[in-house]
């Protein structure tokens, strides 16, 4: 690429990006981080830097994370056996203690540290802090007991917004508080959608390990770049297991007033910036 060509592309990028930058200023973007972007240090670092750049130009970023892989690893190393019913971890009191320790003491703390080292001032939270997220116990679809597993019932939007107002970047782990002030294990994809709805987010972005939603998972060409919530609903049952809660949460978020939900590939560098600030979106966009 010649210097002149590069200068032209740069100028075009700026002309393209500045109106987006203006339009996202002061808007909330909820970013759910999962997969490689959470566990692979180099990708995690680039994503952290992108999130900080977003906040530099006034986007109010909230990060949500779970940590299934990390929990499983900790439990297996302590000899405990993970048990799943219908894709959900059965969580007794001892397991819940493990979940809390891994999510708050390891995953969350590391994420906060990474964001701070990239220039943010992040604040790690579980749903207990500031009573920011409440849930109620749920059972598996077959009615069997799941232990300390919950369904999110309420998110304290004003608390998150006041942290944003103060210039802090909230990082929320998927642990909720019950009405009896005990902790419950909740699904991080659902948390992200509930947080986006409660903070009237302009964007909800799932950073995953796939390129987006495929009409037919086995056909690489069938990647969907834009899909309406209603259409997506018809597609859900045919989706890959890990994509299903994201898709359902995306549908719910769009119906709760979040303008746009994106699924982007966390393995592509700077996918987040390109998605938000250029005309050519990446991954799949869900809209109402």
- Cα 218 to Cα 122: distance, rounded to the nearest angstrom: 39
267 SS3 class: coil
Q: Which is nearer to a second copy, 58 or 257 (CB)?
A: 58
Tokens for 85? 């019913």
Nearest residue to 227 via CA among 285, 283, 282, 279: 285
Six token digits for residue 188: 């991080």
Q: Are 44 and 265 in contact (CB under 8 A)?
A: no
Nearest approach, Cβ of 232 to a second copy (angstroms)?
A: 26
Which is closer to a second copy, CB of 70 or CB of 187? Answer: 70
CB of 233 to a second copy, least distance (A): 31
Complex with a second copy: residue 183 or 187, whichever CB lies closer: 183
CB of 129 to a second copy, least distance (A): 4
Beta carbon nearer to a second copy, 131 or 234: 131
| Closest distance to a second copy from the beta carbon of 41 (Å) | 13
- Where along the sequence are the contacts to a second copy (CB under 8 A)? 1, 5-7, 9-11, 13-15, 17-19, 21-22, 25, 49, 53-54, 56-58, 78, 97, 100-106, 108-109, 112-114, 116-117, 121-126, 128-131, 159, 162, 166, 168, 175, 177, 180-183, 269-270, 273-274, 277-278, 280
Closest CA to 262 of 241, 243, 284: 284
Closer to a second copy by Cβ: residue 255 or 270 = 270
Residues 6+ apart with CB under 8 A from 224: 212, 213, 214, 215, 284
Q: How far is the CB of 12 from a second copy (least distance, A)?
A: 8
Which of 101, 228 has the CB closer to a second copy?
Answer: 101
Q: Rg of the Cα trace of the chain?
A: 19
In whole angstroms, the minimum distance from the beta carbon of 21 to a second copy comes to 5
Q: How far is the CB of 66 from a second copy (least distance, A)?
A: 14
- Say if residue 214 is exposed, middle or buried (CB neighbours under 10 Å; 0-12, 13-18, 19+): buried
DSSP one-letter code for 154: E
Nearest residue (CB) to a second copy, 82 versus 168:
168
What would the two tokens of residue 123 be? 């604040």
d(CA 38, CA 123): 17
């Amino acid at each position: 690429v010649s210097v002149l060509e590069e200068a032209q592309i740069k100028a075009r990028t700026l002309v393209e990006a500045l109106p987006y930058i203006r339009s996202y200023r002061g808007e909330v973007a909820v970013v759910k981080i999962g997969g490689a972007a959470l566990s692979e240090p180099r990708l995690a670092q680039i994503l952290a830097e992108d999130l900080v750049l977003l906040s530099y130009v006034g986007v109010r970023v909230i990060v949500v994370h779970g940590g299934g892989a990390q929990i499983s690893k900790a439990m297996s190393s302590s000899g405990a056996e993970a048990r799943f019913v219908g894709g959900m971890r059965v969580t007794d009191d001892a397991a819940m203690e493990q979940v809390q320790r891994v999510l708050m003491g390891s995953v969350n703390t590391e994420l906060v540290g990474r964001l701070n080292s990239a220039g943010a001032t992040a604040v790690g939270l579980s749903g207990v802090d500031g009573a920011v997220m409440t849930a109620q116990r749920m059972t598996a679809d077959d009615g069997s007991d799941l232990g300390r597993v919950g369904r999110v019932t309420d998110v304290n939007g004003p608390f998150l917004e006041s942290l944003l107002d103060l210039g802090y970047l909230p990082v929320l782990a998927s642990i909720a508080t019950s009405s009896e002030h005990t902790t419950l294990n909740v699904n991080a994809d659902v948390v992200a959608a509930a947080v986006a709805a409660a903070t009237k987010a302009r964007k909800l972005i799932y950073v995953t390990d796939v390129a987006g939603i495929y009409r037919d998972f086995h056909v690489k060409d069938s990647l969907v770049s834009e899909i309406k919530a209603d259409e997506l609903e018809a597609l859900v049952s045919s989706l890959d297991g890990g994509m299903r809660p994201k898709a359902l949460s995306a549908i719910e978020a769009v119906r709760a007033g979040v303008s746009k939900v994106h699924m982007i590939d966390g393995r592509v560098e700077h996918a987040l910036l390109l998605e938000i600030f250029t005309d050519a979106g990446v991954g799949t966009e869900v809209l109402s």
